[in-house]
Structure 1
């Protein structure tokens, strides 16, 4: 007999264990208290394959607490070869069993624990289950099977009549529960969620630093209005102005504030075309009405102003109002921080971002509905392999066949949806394709409409209202791109991706249309029909949710069904799609100019053909390509732009030799490893000199508990104190020390006189700081300034540990030191061309242990050897950095910082073999990425 504890952790989940067992067993027997459709849907493919292969199966569930979902029962009953029964509970006897039994030729695998068949229990909840593998005819096995058999005999066979009767009982209980929930709701009992708390803490920190403006970036439906109301509740301004672009938002915002602040001694009023309640303490106004009368108010009339939909704030009407008022604090909120041609929303709010919440953060914080994504191989006979994104009409023509419609309908019915009515959005290639799909669906009794940019707004709004109406027969809206962004249809429960993925941005926008939370929707179903299109691998980029990726991490993500994505999200691709995408990932060269240029062109398309001249243009889109890869390819972003766009003004801009060198130096700092240097440089664009105290204040905007020695080291770094002679000759100094302050150099003073140069420098600094804040948040300062899981080059360790000699000397050996810090740099797969490293036996023994061999010349008795062996007693810290390969795609790869390690044992000499304990276990997916070949 063997036992194993099963928990939901990374790629190891109960769902994975159940699906694997269904594939390998001979028979299976489930006995669980609750089943709901969110869990059943995840098991559909495994159950279907098991039944098709002739396996016998039983599923027993119960009516206990009326938690079992009638939809789940009905879906299980559709498997005619599956034997399903329901244990009917009473007042005196409940049913709380959770057991999964798998029969093999000689053994039983029995899983007993806490998990029901729900998506949270199978994938994300903290739940323990014990797996016991026991030979047949063992006492434990016999007892389990006997008890299961007794319960099975007591249970009622599942019939349509039983489901109909239970459904009436289930709906009655739900109506009572819903009424009780509404009666219990009160503003006094509503508390901020994690995102709102983080935002409020950062707003408070910024106010302590003397800032008067800040921006919150978060997707629609993530609770920005509640967050603003919570912050107002904390600040308690005498007068508040809440300004919006669209009047339909205004009443909802006012109701939210009234609900949360109902005990506050303030009045609430509206300023619209029909209501002029301007005497209210808290005034909610649309911009058009306020623009007509803002001069009636004194500039300091409002203590706190909220600019909702702040991406509109660059418009003339907004600018007039913003310029007039001087509140104590102004908060901007937006879901889409795309800049206008004149100003960026980041500039308008002094680059102070309280929080940015994009799709995957929203999923992790449970701010949006989770989704179940199914990647399905497209219908037989459809060949898109010789087409590109330019061939839209031909792609649409090849997709408009009856066999594909039947294929889509089959899987749409197989996977189903959650809710009483199907409310689907289908994304098509062209308008003709959308019309074709709407007609074909309608002909097959799924009432549908096609919408395009040619339809009037009133027609679109009417169609959306019909889709949301539970009594209207309309079930599906097909479109090309009008639903990609800016449209809010909360009750959508099914998304059909019927076109090849061309852009991760568009994919995320389309996915996002169904993620708004809604009382009738526990999760969103997404069906993506993946053809043999040459760039099908873009689906992996879109789902991965990490802008900064490499080929290995993407392959592991695909192989593990994207197990790193947080929450009860489910991503599943059939084997054909998975193999196709893995093959394309192997063949694609992510660092080739062809790949980078194609990524740039697709991003430009999303921007309606507008070239992204600024790095910050990439920061405003969830799913945008990583512009640092463009910089690494061409030396700077402007050099890359010039190679792609061939615009004369770019050539002229780069023609000045000194400026070009300085711009390349700034570009090479991206992505920032610490914000100190760039925060100081950004300040020196605004003022000619900076004291140490002023520099500390500048850095405090980006990190907490700033250490003065690190700020001084950053100022010395900028003044080239740690550059070697070659670097000084190649890189113009932008700043220099003058007595006790850092001042602009003559070179920088010259650049300052050219507005275009200043704009380009500001863009690099702004992008670097905002990207750092997005990745790390307002972290505390520390020495060395290292973060587990982050990528670094060897030289970065010199900068981040405040090394006070030439930083270029920090290279070569796999063991480097600065003061009490030792840095171990390890290649896990050795380069056969580097002879002296062939014999190193460096590897992870497990997620907690690393085996490392020292440089060949080290003895245990040496000073370094003793420092490493006795590092705890001598006060030394050992930092481990690893990389899977030294070179990929002809590019030297960075190391990943794994955290601190401690020596458990040391054996041998020249080299010394160390066994080291990780301070933090390696996360399961990263461990797999580093140790396995996919």
Structure 2
């Protein structure tokens, strides 16, 4: 530290975390001990003996009073290899060892004087117990190169080798003969059958060894002769001894890929058909052999729809960003309804174009595995049966609609539901009365200001974020640049949540200064502006015309397209842009939705957009996949904003959600967590403007009070002020106290209950909320019963954990004597009840709902674990509850918020939605009573798994746990600690898995 100060370097300190301190301390000890041991003097044998003696003395001291076990003592010999009888090569008595020692890592470059990766893989196979392979493609030439080593590996395992291979059909590069040969050897092969795109560019081998000396090869080599032998390839050979965290991460990521629906068991006939269809560009044939599986974000939507219907909401709106697969979700939802309702419920699917109808019909057929499902009803198509109909809205009017019985269809699906306020849609929706109504839209906010939510009880059932589609590779990634445009909007008129259009227009068209800045930014960020296909979103018709004229004067062909532009001229402009005859179209809210130009590769935000939904719609115009673009370039021109403008809304939209605090942190940190391939960069001045704007309103009690212009109910305030519920309670004060500040109520309590309100917003199951809401609606409190787990959970949730349980009655009396606080709790719990969007499931014998969320105190309360009259406050990651015959496991996935800590990150993690990898306490052995109970629990004994992402949430509050439910052990290896793979009784919620999984989508 003194040397750093002498050199004039600034340093930063952070306290060690109890979860991760062992790693940096051990590294320091290693460096110190290595230096000390190397300084020992003497002849070779004497020197080695002294080094061994010093090492054993240190181990004895470090092990404490009992000393180190004899097997932990070191000797002057180094273990060279361990193998089973019969594994050795004929006549040698030895197993072929890798050229690189098993305890070391190295770089292999296939150079003339270097190792060849193919030969090293052969050597690694000779001593591996299990092998996992991940490659983009497998060539016959590569298989032949490794065939003898693979056959020997197979023979050692009796023809059933633990060899797993993940590969793809991308570009048609994989040879089916190579996969056939791997299958013949006994390998388990899974393939991603999407030939058009792949997210799998990794090439890696993992060689598991039960001795702990596992190794991996990660680099550039696919399974081809050139890559293995003489290609200009770089690969890193990693050892579990010196790089355990990387191999743990490899193993965890591979397991998650292996369980993804996108990777399916190899089917020779199907594989050949897929490649043949790709080579002949037969897209229909390709669709016929590519099976329909939900992506995780689609599964989350399906689960939300299930929950809504279980709660009695049968008219539901799904808001899904462009490219997230709305029709796929609708088709899979119908498949689930078939199972739930029995048979094939009658179906009416409505859209406004025949092209959409034919694609939708094909999607439903793929989902149901029925190539004859459904009939078309359009101007030229008439159904014969009419039970499952894909109809154009134009065909459903007049006499045909009048003759249709309101209950003729069990299920009605309306695509592009934002058109519902048009007369034809309104007439249809008013006429029909289906059992199930499903609306699909990417555009819940109409540009004409009319709401569509009244058809759905003013609620959105589920949303599929743009983020999800990007993460799954369904859209091209974006490169976002926030550019300081040197304008000052701080004094521009801002009313009713938006800038004055006339005032903005005056600023932007007064001279060419800003327009020149736009051109300069394009020249710096776009490879060749003359070849770009850009959409520029402007503030007004005059602004759009101004920008088009400016671009034309500077040699970039452009036009302006507005609501006044004739349809023919608008369509011509779109064609010219797609053909490359135009570089840019400048518009005002015309291309927000409904116009598909996949070749658009640049989006210019030339106005401050107040609506996050509108912002995403405009961004989405450039995110469609297209063969000529690898990403979308986004230039957002940011000036100094009016104090009332909300920058957090657009960045919250880009990030896929979050509070203002989370957005502020992301802006400061450079947006470290974005979908794969995406980036957000803010110029220094733009970043400063954004941060000042966000922090001005961040947890600002006075600003919240200003937003409460009337004595609104809680839900109304959150909607009108556009404040997140968690954000309100981020202030650690109550809504009632906010009302008091505005003079709407008097004498609001400030006590343990009000201070506990921020810790209630996680409650998300019908069981707790229905009981508590019923109590709060009664004039008198329930009769106190310290043995009733729901009463005790209510007691704990509202900040009473430190009180004795015999004070339960006093607590009820205190609460019921405060009508203001009672009113807030009623409103809060009603809001939480209305926001429930995932199904939860009863756990017999306990008051917990699987997939509901609980604080640690609530878990103790639910078990009614009492010590000395008070609730037991459990510590550590495990708790044995004899009373209810269960072990409760508390898991925090991110052990340390301060640093990225790879050594602990991969101890506990979800391997798939059904399997969870967990590490026991450090002193647990396989044969101990605890280890045996985990592996083979007695009859009636349950292992209950609670998990959370981190210790603290963005508010600094202790993060609650998601109850993943009962689990059973499917494998247990090692000891002190034991590595256990749990199988869940129920798949974990898709949205949570998607959030916490390690692997990219």
Report TM bin, short chain: 0.5 to 0.7
SS of alignment partner, residue 492 of structure 1: coil
User: CA offsets per residue over residues 258-310 of structure 1, 9 Å max, x none?
Assistant: 475395445523256x8775853433345575454444234543243223344
Are 2:582 and 1:474 equivalent residues in the alignment? yes
- Does 723-732 or 816-825 show the bigger shift? 816-825
Q: Which residue of 1 aligns with 2:145?
A: none
The aligned runs of 1:568-647 (5 Å cut-off) are: 568-578=677-687, 581=690, 588=696, 590-593=698-701, 595-596=703-704, 615=715, 625-630=723-728
Are 2:403 and 1:305 equivalent residues in the alignment? no
Q: Which residue of 2 aligns with 1:282?
A: 388
SS of alignment partner, residue 579 of structure 2: coil
- Does 399-408 or 627-636 show the bigger shift? 627-636
User: How far off its partner does 1:414 sit?
Assistant: 3.6
CA distance in 2, matches of 1:312, 1:346: 14
User: How far off its partner does 1:442 sit?
Assistant: 1.8
CA distance in 2, matches of 1:350, 1:531: 35
For structure 1, which runs of at least 5 residues remain unmatched after alignment?
7-32, 35-63, 68-95, 99-110, 117-126, 133-173, 602-609, 689-707, 735-746, 752-756, 829-840, 851-864, 901-914, 927-934
User: How far off its partner does 1:792 sit?
Assistant: 8.3
CA distance in 2, matches of 1:277, 1:823: 57
The aligned runs of 1:191-590 (5 Å cut-off) are: 191-194=292-295, 195-197=297-299, 199=301, 214-232=316-334, 235=338, 237=344, 239-244=346-351, 247-248=352-353, 250-258=354-362, 261=365, 264-266=371-373, 268-270=375-377, 280-286=386-392, 290=396, 292-293=398-399, 294-310=401-417, 325=432, 327=434, 329-337=436-444, 345=453, 348=456, 353=461, 355-378=462-485, 382-384=487-489, 389=494, 392=500, 396-400=505-509, 401-416=511-526, 422-452=532-562, 455=564, 458=567, 461-462=570-571, 465-466=574-575, 468-470=577-579, 473-484=581-592, 488-500=596-608, 502=610, 504-533=612-641, 538=648, 541-542=651-652, 545=655, 547-549=657-659, 551=661, 553-554=662-663, 556-578=665-687, 581=690, 588=696, 590=698
Q: Which residue of 2 aligns with 1:135?
A: none
CA distance in 2, matches of 1:895, 1:189: 45
User: How far off its partner does 1:494 sit?
Assistant: 0.9
User: How far off its partner does 1:358 sit?
Assistant: 1.6
SS of alignment partner, residue 568 of structure 1: coil
SS of alignment partner, residue 630 of structure 1: helix
Q: Which residue of 2 aligns with 1:671?
A: 761
User: CA offsets per residue over residues 10-66 of structure 1, 9 Å max, x none?
Assistant: xxxxxxxxxxxxxxxxxxxxxxx99xxxxxxxxxxxxxxxxxxxxxxxxxxxxx999
User: How far off its partner does 1:219 sit?
Assistant: 1.9
467 and 341 in structure 1: CA distance in 2 versus 1, 3 angstrom threshold: closer
User: How far off its partner does 1:223 sit?
Assistant: 1.8
CA distance in 1, matches of 2:598, 2:875: 54
412 and 480 in structure 1: CA distance in 2 versus 1, 3 angstrom threshold: same
238 and 594 in structure 1: CA distance in 2 versus 1, 3 angstrom threshold: closer
The aligned runs of 1:700-779 (5 Å cut-off) are: 724=808, 727-732=811-816, 767-769=831-833, 771-773=835-837
Task: Choose 1 or 2 for highest CA Rg.
Answer: 2
RMSD: 6.8
Q: TM-score, normalised by structure 1?
A: 0.53
421 and 398 in structure 1: CA distance in 2 versus 1, 3 angstrom threshold: same
Report if the CA contact (8 A) 1:426-1:476 is conserved: yes
290 and 673 in structure 1: CA distance in 2 versus 1, 3 angstrom threshold: same
CA distance in 1, matches of 2:650, 2:345: 50
User: CA offsets per residue over residues 785-813 of structure 1, 9 Å max, x none?
Assistant: 7999x9987755656x5547799977999
CA distance in 2, matches of 1:555, 1:878: 33
User: How far off its partner does 1:596 sit?
Assistant: 4.2
Q: TM-score, normalised by structure 2?
A: 0.50
Report if the CA contact (8 A) 1:723-1:806 is conserved: no
Report if the CA contact (8 A) 1:370-1:523 is conserved: yes
449 and 266 in structure 1: CA distance in 2 versus 1, 3 angstrom threshold: same
User: How far off its partner does 1:728 sit?
Assistant: 2.4
Report if the CA contact (8 A) 1:225-1:253 is conserved: no
332 and 766 in structure 1: CA distance in 2 versus 1, 3 angstrom threshold: farther
Report if the CA contact (8 A) 2:737-2:748 is conserved: no
SS of alignment partner, residue 680 of structure 1: helix
The aligned runs of 1:80-95 (5 Å cut-off) are: none
SS of alignment partner, residue 378 of structure 1: strand
User: How far off its partner does 1:572 sit?
Assistant: 2.6
User: How far off its partner does 1:893 sit?
Assistant: 3.3
- Does 480-489 or 298-307 show the bigger shift? 480-489
Q: Which residue of 1 aligns with 2:283?
A: 182
Report if the CA contact (8 A) 1:336-1:620 is conserved: no
726 and 819 in structure 1: CA distance in 2 versus 1, 3 angstrom threshold: farther
SS of alignment partner, residue 180 of structure 1: coil
- Does 341-350 or 483-492 show the bigger shift? 341-350
User: How far off its partner does 1:484 sit?
Assistant: 4.6
User: CA offsets per residue over residues 613-649 of structure 1, 9 Å max, x none?
Assistant: 884997899xx641442366596669869989x9xxx
Matched residue count: 662
